Amino acid sequence: MMKIRLTNYSNLIFGLFMLFAMFSCQVEPLNSEKKSQNALSFVVCNTTSSQVDLIAGNGNGNGYVVGNVTVETIDSNYKITYNITNEFYCITETHLSVVNSPYDFPVNGGSNPKIGNFEYGDDDLDCEKSISYLVPISKGSYIAAHAKVNCISQSPEDVISKLPGTVQVCVEAKPGTDSYFDLNISEGTTISGISGAWCLDYDTHLNYGDDCFDADVYTIFDDLTGLPLDYEETLGAINWILNQDFISQGYTMGEIQFAIWKFIEDEEIDGPYLGEYTLAKALEIYKAALSHLDFEPGCGDLLGVILMPQIPSIQPTIITIPIDCYEGECSETAWGDGCGFPGNSWATYFQYGAPE
């Protein structure tokens, strides 16, 4: 009798041991998985910021800035704002997460952010230029700001329609940087700033140090009747020349201006500000352009913009602006710039605080 009880007792001990072993085998992978999730290799943000760039397209140095993300404190809340500064883009979707530690961001098994689990956002925005969210400061200081941005369709006609009618112009340099002039065009227009320019009339004058002047704005698509230009039929060729980036091909500023003057004056002119040039190379440009008298710039080209001074004795000039066109619809992912997530995506996050 005693022997039977001992045997049963031994069997009971053995059974408990086997249950413990089975339970241990089931629990260990769960513990290992949890440990792996908690050991994500986040890159710690060493700097803080109240404003970061909103990068679209692709990170890793290949993206482009379409706007910014700003953070300000209002009472016990953050006001986090997505701003689009690139006129050709708008926001159609946002996902925003604010946490106490980078380890608290929602991520998937590959350590990439799960934007669908972010606490704030909008999935159906109507092409917004700016959108803000109020978030309690108690949520933390680490911010992951995701957006979907769409490009806005634009044609060459749209670019031309945004040109100003009149601008104020000052000569910054003569000769200019890889151009005959450097002009400073008054602020507040689509052609404002320093621009390389070319002479369109050899018989009038424009020098560095002259007073600033007002100029009317035209393109080769405008009706130029009545203007003191008797070479309208060659403006296409001149606009073609300015699209070829002859400087990068080994030609000089003087050779380009020489070719433009030959179209304007129909003769070979040796001006005092041409610098180094060779007649043979200048004529190469001229002869190549003869086949492009009907050139009209389109999407991706440079548009010639004529600046016609309102004072007849001042020389007219031509500058170029890019025709940035977006035909049809496009969509890009964008992130508030900062530190990378440990997964294989280019998603980023940043830490709010006064810039260091």
Residue pLDDT, tens place only, 73-107: 999 999 999 999 998 899 999 999 999 999 999 99
Going by the DSSP 8-state scheme, the letter that residue 45 receives in this structure is P
Q: How far apart are CA 51 and CA 55, in angstroms?
A: 13
Ramachandran quadrant class, 300 (left: phi over 0; alpha: psi -120 to 50; beta: rest): left
Question: Strand 331-336 vs strand 142-151: parallel, antiparallel, or unpaired?
Answer: antiparallel
Identify the pLDDT of residue 61: 61
**Average pLDDT over all residues of the chain:** 87
In a 13 Å sphere around the CA of 351, the CA atoms on its Cβ side amount to 15
Tell me the backbone φ, ψ of residue 314, rounded to 5 degrees. -95, 140
Q: Tens digits of per-residue pLDDT, 143-201? A: 999 999 998 877 888 889 999 999 999 999 999 999 999 999 999 999 999 999 999 99
- Is the backbone peptide bond immediately before 175 cis, with ω within 30 degrees of 0? yes
Tally of CB atoms within 10 A around 256: 26
Question: pLDDT-based confidence at 121, cuts 50/70/90?
Answer: very high
Q: Average pLDDT, stretch 267-282? A: 93
Q: Which residue has the higher pLDDT, 280 or 21?
A: 280
Give the DSSP per-residue string, 134-179.
EEEGGG-SEEEEEEEEEEPPB-HHHHHHTS-SEEEEEEEESS-SSS
Range with top average pLDDT, 1-10, 223-232, 302-311: 302-311
Using alpha carbons, select from 68, 72, 65 the residue that is nearest to residue 50. Answer: 72
Contact between 45 and 351 under an 8 Å Cβ cutoff? The reply is yes
Predicted model pTM = 0.59
- Domains along the chain? 51-153+330-351 (2.60.40), 156-322 (no CATH)
Q: Which of 27-41, 72-86, 130-144, 255-269 has the lowest mean pLDDT?
A: 27-41
Identify the pLDDT of residue 210: 79
Q: Tens digits of per-residue pLDDT, 31-64? A: 333 334 444 677 777 778 999 999 998 766 678 9
Identify the pLDDT of residue 142: 96
Q: Tens digits of per-residue pLDDT, 212-255? A: 999 999 999 999 988 988 899 999 999 999 999 999 999 999 99
Q: Average pLDDT, stretch 323-333? A: 77
